[in-house]
Chain A
Amino acid sequence: QKEVEQDPGPLSVPEGAIVSLNCTYSNSAFQYFMWYRQYSRKGPELLMYTYSSGNKEDGRFTAQVDKSSKYISLFIRDSQPSDSATYLCAGGGGSGTASKLTFGTGTRLQVTL
Chain B
Amino acid sequence: DTEVTQTPKHLVMGMTNKKSLKCEQHMGHRAMYWYKQKAKKPPELMFVYSYEKLSINESVPSRFSPECPNSSLLNLHLHALQPEDSALYLCASSPQGEGRINYGYTFGSGTRLTVV
Q: A41-B112, A42-B110, A43-B109 are in contact. Are A100 and B48 (CB under 8 A)?
A: yes
* Chain B positions near chain A (C-beta within 8 angstroms): 4, 6, 31, 33, 40-43, 45, 48, 50, 55-56, 88, 90, 92, 94, 97-110, 112
Instruction: Give the distance in Å from the alpha carbon of A98 to the alpha carbon of B31 in the complex.
Output: 11
B107 and A99: CB pair below 8 A?
no
Given contacts A41-B112, A43-B90, contact A99 B42 (CB under 8 A): no
Residue of B at shortest CB range from A51?
Answer: B102
- Whether A44 sits at the interface, judged by CB under 8 Å, is yes
Partner of A93, one of B41, B90, B102: B102
Tell whether, in the assembled complex, residue A43 and residue B107 are in contact, meaning their CB atoms are under 8 Å apart.
Answer: yes
Residues of B within 8 A of A43 (CB): 4, 6, 90, 92, 107-110
Residue contacts A-B, CB under 8 angstroms, 13 given? A34-B105, A42-B110, A43-B90, A49-B104, A98-B101, A99-B48, A99-B50, A101-B45, A101-B104, A101-B105, A103-B42, A105-B40, A106-B42
With contacts A41-B112, A42-B109, A43-B90 known, is A99 near B41, CB below 8 A? Answer: no
Q: Is the CB of B42 within 8 A of A46?
A: no
Considering the chains assembled together, what is the distance between the CA atoms of A43 and B91 in angstroms?
9
* Distance of B76 from chain A, by nearest CB (Å): 15
When A and B form their complex, which 3 residue pairs have the shortest distance between CB atoms, in order from nearest? A103-B42, A43-B107, A98-B99
Tell me the chain A residues, 79-113 only, with Cβ under 8 Å from chain B.
88, 92-93, 98-106
Measured CB to CB, the nearest residue on chain B to A86 is B40
Assembled-state Cα–Cα distance A4/B42 (Å) = 10
| Complex Cα–Cα for A101 and B97 (A) | 13
Whole-angstrom distance between the alpha carbons of A93 and B102 in the complex? Answer: 7
Across the interface, which residues of A come within 8 angstroms of B55, CB to CB?
A: 98-99
Tell whether, in the assembled complex, residue B107 and residue A44 are in contact, meaning their CB atoms are under 8 Å apart: yes
In the complex formed, the residue of A with least CB distance to B112 is: A41
Q: Residue on A with the closest CB to B109?
A: A43
